[in-house]
Amino acid sequence: MIETQSGVDMSALVGWMDGQGLGIGPVSTVTALTGGTQNILLRFTRDGRDYVLRRPPAHPRPESNETMRREARLLAALAGTGVPHPALIAACGDESVLGAAFYLMEPIEGFNPTSGLPPLHAGSAEVQHRMGLSMVEALVALAAVDYRAVGLADFGKVDGWLERQVGRWRKQLDSYAAFAEWPGSQSLGPVEPVADWLERNRPADFRPGILHGDYHLANVMFRNDSGELAAVIDWELATIGDPLVDLGWMLATWPEEQEEPMVSVRPWIGFPSAAELVAHYRALSGRDFDADWYAIFGCYKLGILLEGTFARACAGKAPREIGDKLHARAQWLLSRASRWMKNGTPANKRAQEETQGGGDNE
């Protein structure tokens, strides 16, 4: 019997699984999974069935356990919908079992493109094009879920949600002043002009829905045998809000021609252009919207979030190398937002010289 793995008491886990009727006997083939999260992920086998355990890190933040409970609730609500996601098996909100809330989910057979492309995907512009379109299709499916009908009516505060966003994230940025040696928001770039533009150009209304909150190439998995999406992962920022913010987040991190991307995938030979992504969303959803606003808001919010790690690094509470790297990315995002304010985003420009099987190349 494996007693502990990555700080997880496997004996305690087995005892809890016994009470849930989840197999009999010991666990085997326990493997720690890696990814872009600090949460602990373990894949293991028990009684002929594979599981993935997800729990907060060994030293969680104050909100980590509640975030884990929310993730499990969200995954349960998505069961039976058209949204590709890891299927929830069981969840435990009782922190006394493993020292933190956790849940078990079905493993996803697939890969994350930021960790490297298999030969099929690396060598086919057509497959890459399909990968980008399938990401959009997952967003459309998510926005189409009736969040009230699936039990998520109280999962977020809908009233005034869009009106609160710019100010809410500006307050987040201001809070970094509590970290010693942080040079302040002036080091980040044109935060105030971007915030002012967003307030002046904010959409008049929105259609509430489930929001993933961190939607980009690093938080999806694709099938090994095609360009289809296998699952959207890492739902820890999910809430109820304007689902178009997820599309804007995707656009904020999507590379333009001859540009070092925010989220790196190599080779980039056939992925859709930003204009194609937006056109595909509009065609499937039947909705019209200002893609510029959502893309610029994506840059603004993500830049502020990344700056938080830099601020903590300045105070010695995060690795300085990582902090400096994310600070540079945050500066890049605010610069990109400023440029888009003046010239418009590629998402709203008419695509030129695009073919059926490809998009913009780097």
- Residues 6 or more apart whose CB falls under 8 angstroms from that of 142 comprise 83, 209, 210, 212, 232, 243, 246
- 51-67 in b/e form (b: 16+ CB < 10 A) is bbbbbbeeebeeebbeb
Among 60, 78, 105, which residue terminates a domain?
A: 105
- Residues 6 or more apart whose CB falls under 8 angstroms from that of 171 comprise none
The verdict on 118 and 89 lying in the same domain is: no
Asked whether residue 354 is domain-assigned, the answer is no
The verdict on 163 and 270 lying in the same domain is: yes
Q: Which residues lie across from 222 on neighbouring strands?
A: 111, 229
What's the whole-model pTM score?
Answer: 0.91
- State the residue range of the domain holding 124: 113-348
Main-chain dihedrals φ then ψ at residue 226, nearest 5 degrees: -165, 180
Asked whether residue 98 is domain-assigned, the answer is yes
Among 105, 123, 140, which residue terminates a domain?
A: 105
The verdict on 250 and 279 lying in the same domain is: yes
Cα dihedral: 110, 233, 300, 282 (round 10): 80
**Tens place of pLDDT per residue across the chain (362 aa):** 567 777 899 999 999 999 999 999 999 999 999 765 578 999 999 999 999 999 998 878 789 999 999 999 999 999 999 999 999 999 999 999 999 999 999 999 999 999 999 999 999 999 999 999 999 999 999 999 999 999 999 999 999 999 999 999 999 999 999 999 999 999 999 999 999 999 999 999 999 999 999 999 999 999 999 999 999 999 999 999 999 999 999 999 998 766 666 778 999 999 999 999 999 999 999 999 999 999 999 999 999 999 999 999 999 988 999 999 999 999 999 999 999 999 998 887 643 333 333 444 33
The verdict on 20 and 81 lying in the same domain is: yes
The verdict on 172 and 198 lying in the same domain is: yes
- Residues 6 or more apart whose CB falls under 8 angstroms from that of 325 comprise none
Q: Report the pLDDT value the prediction gives residue 136, as an integer from 0 to 100.
A: 98
Q: Report the pLDDT value the prediction gives residue 61, as an integer from 0 to 100.
A: 79
- Residues 6 or more apart whose CB falls under 8 angstroms from that of 320 comprise 313
Q: Report the pLDDT value the prediction gives residue 355, as an integer from 0 to 100.
A: 32
Q: Where are the alpha helices (DSSP H) in the chain?
A: 10-20, 64-78, 119-122, 125-144, 161-175, 191-200, 244-252, 274-285, 291-314, 320-343
The verdict on 188 and 308 lying in the same domain is: yes
Segment holding 92, helix H or strand E: strand 88-92
Q: Report the pLDDT value the prediction gives residue 231, as an integer from 0 to 100.
A: 98
The verdict on 284 and 137 lying in the same domain is: yes
Report d(CA 292, CA 274) in Å as an integer.
Answer: 11
The verdict on 127 and 99 lying in the same domain is: no
CATH number for position 221: 3.90.1200.10
Domain total in the chain: 2
The verdict on 309 and 213 lying in the same domain is: yes
The verdict on 295 and 321 lying in the same domain is: yes
